[in-house]
């Protein structure tokens, strides 16, 4: 227990409580924003906007061609202030250009590609304007994390989501679906303007380009984007295949809601990693520190996992009835998913990021891609036979598979010092 107590205290000392509060606030505000949009925009028009936005969501990891992901890893590894300054300027200039190129590509596709759903291409072209402000917003948060100012990260998230509620409410009331699009685009722009001093850096002396800014630097960010997209697909593919293979809209709704609580708990490891990633990357070569961090993290999340599973096993009927009384027939699938997320809580959340920290982000991509292929094959076999339960079994097994594989891969590279710093 002392190990857990010390770990949590260190987390709080790094302003982890602020990150936790900001994350909870962001989730609540995100729900309210979606609810407000639903009240003010007709379902058909909102559906078209959301369809286009979902496409954009899968492209967001590639903003700046992933340079913001390279920025946090390499920025944490260098102790030279001049190198940090050059890195920030380099990432800003190249990342804005790369985001602009991505915007042009997506806008062109939106205008030229004949989408079946009316206005999808039009909305897609407009949404492409969001790439540059979102990239700048990410860089602002990463700069604050690199300087161990997690409070700034928390404040920026709260301000962003607060602005989103205000802009969505105002613009949707007056302009409906067009207002919703405007709100989604203008909110990051306003937030970047508020925090503009964070990235307003002009060096008076000419800085030399650090040796680590090379081909590998760019590849790291690119594969980081691929890994994130593959992970998003891994979580989304179940609902798509349930709908495709069962052809029952009720089954899609049921699976969406019985997986809501298991997947919602995954915000917890993200909070800890957001707070600690820079700290353990800075000390990645100090094996005693890293092993103690791993031990503390796994002990804490093992306890959380046990409590989580037991609690929702005891109160599964009440929980599922809260959504819909008919969902109680899926109690077994609900339990299976709860067991599954423990694989991410204990293993994947930590070791996926440790692999990124030692420069093996490609491994994350290949692990997730393998899981995605297994997911599709397994679901094609299990869903027709077992229905929603088949999808739950596949998800649960793959969450443990990706977690344990990430753990074994990290141990393999780390013990052999086979990583780059």
pLDDT at 419: 67
pLDDT at 249: 67
Q: pLDDT-based confidence at 260, cuts 50/70/90?
A: confident
Mean pLDDT of the chain: 89
User: Distance of CA 115 to CAs 41, 112, 122, 220, 229, Å?
Assistant: 22, 9, 10, 33, 22
pLDDT at 30: 83
Check if the beta carbon of residue 213 is closer than 8 Å to that of residue 79.
Answer: no
Q: Which of 3, 7, 2 is nearest to 275 (CA)?
A: 7
pLDDT higher than threshold 80 for residue 116? no
How does pLDDT run across 210-248, given as a tens digit for each residue?
888 889 899 999 999 888 888 888 877 887 788 778 777
The end-to-end CA distance of the chain, in Å, is: 33
pLDDT higher than threshold 70 for residue 202? no
What dihedral angle (degrees, nearest 10) is formed by the CA atoms of 355, 361, 364, 369?
A: -170
pLDDT at 341: 95
Residue written as tokens 């917003």?
A: 137
How does pLDDT run across 351-409, given as a tens digit for each residue?
999 999 999 999 999 999 999 999 999 999 999 999 889 999 999 999 999 999 999 99
Cα–Cα dist 250/361, whole Å: 38
How does pLDDT run across 30-39, given as a tens digit for each residue?
888 888 888 8
How does pLDDT run across 278-333, given as a tens digit for each residue?
999 999 999 999 999 999 999 999 999 999 999 999 998 998 888 788 888 989 99
pLDDT higher than threshold 70 for residue 201? no
Residue 365 dihedral angles phi and psi, to the nearest 5°: -65, -45
pLDDT at 378: 93
Task: Please list, residue by residue across 282-312, b when 16 or more beta carbons sit within 10 angstroms of its beta carbon and e when fewer do.
Answer: bebeeeeebeebbebbbebbeebbeebbeeb
Cα–Cα dist 93/78, whole Å: 20
């Amino acid at each position: 227990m002392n190990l857990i107590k010390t770990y949590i205290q260190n987390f709080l000392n790094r302003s982890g409580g602020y990150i936790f509060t900001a994350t909870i606030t962001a989730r609540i505000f995100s729900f309210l924003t979606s609810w407000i949009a639903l009240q003010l925009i007709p379902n058909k028009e909102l559906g078209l906007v959301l369809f286009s936005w979902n496409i954009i969501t899968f492209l967001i990891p590639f903003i700046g061609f992933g340079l913001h992901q390279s920025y946090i890893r390499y920025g944490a590894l260098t102790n030279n202030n001049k190198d940090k300054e050059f890195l920030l300027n380099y990432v800003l200039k190249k990342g804005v250009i790369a985001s602009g190129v991505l915007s042009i590509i997506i806008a062109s596709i939106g205008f030229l590609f004949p989408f079946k759903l009316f206005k999808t291409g039009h909305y897609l072209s407009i949404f492409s304007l969001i790439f540059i402000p979102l990239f700048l917003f990410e860089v602002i948060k990463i700069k604050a994390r690199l300087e161990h100012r997690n409070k700034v990260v928390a404040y920026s998230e709260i301000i962003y989501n607060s602005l989103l509620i205000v802009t969505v409410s105002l613009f949707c009331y007056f302009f409906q679906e067009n207002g919703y699009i405007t709100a989604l685009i203008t909110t990051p722009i306003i937030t970047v303007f508020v925090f503009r001093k964070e990235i307003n850096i002009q060096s008076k002396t000419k800085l030399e380009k650090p040796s680590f800014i090379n081909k590998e630097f760019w590849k790291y960010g690119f594969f980081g984007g691929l890994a994130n997209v593959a992970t998003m697909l891994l979580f989304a593919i179940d609902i798509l295949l349930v709908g495709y293979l069962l052809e029952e809209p009720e089954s899609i709704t049921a699976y969406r809601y019985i997986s809501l609580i298991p997947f919602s708990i995954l915000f917890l490891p993200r909070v800890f990693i957001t707070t600690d990633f820079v700290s353990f990357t800075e000390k990645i070569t100090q094996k005693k520190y890293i092993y103690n961090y791993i031990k503390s993290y796994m002990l804490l999340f093992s306890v959380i996992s046990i409590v989580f599973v037991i609690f929702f096993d005891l109160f599964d009927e009440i929980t599922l009835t809260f959504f819909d009384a008919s969902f109680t027939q899926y109690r077994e699938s609900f339990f299976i998913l709860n067991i599954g997320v423990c694989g991410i809580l204990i293993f994947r959340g930590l070791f996926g990021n440790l692999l990124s920290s030692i420069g093996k982000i490609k491994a994350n991509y290949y692990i997730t891609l393998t899981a995605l292929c297994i997911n599709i094959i397994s679901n094609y076999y299990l869903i027709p036979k077992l229905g929603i339960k088949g999808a739950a079994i596949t998800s649960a097994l793959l969450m443990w598979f990706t977690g344990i594989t990430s753990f074994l891969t990290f141990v393999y590279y780390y013990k052999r010092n086979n990583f780059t710093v």
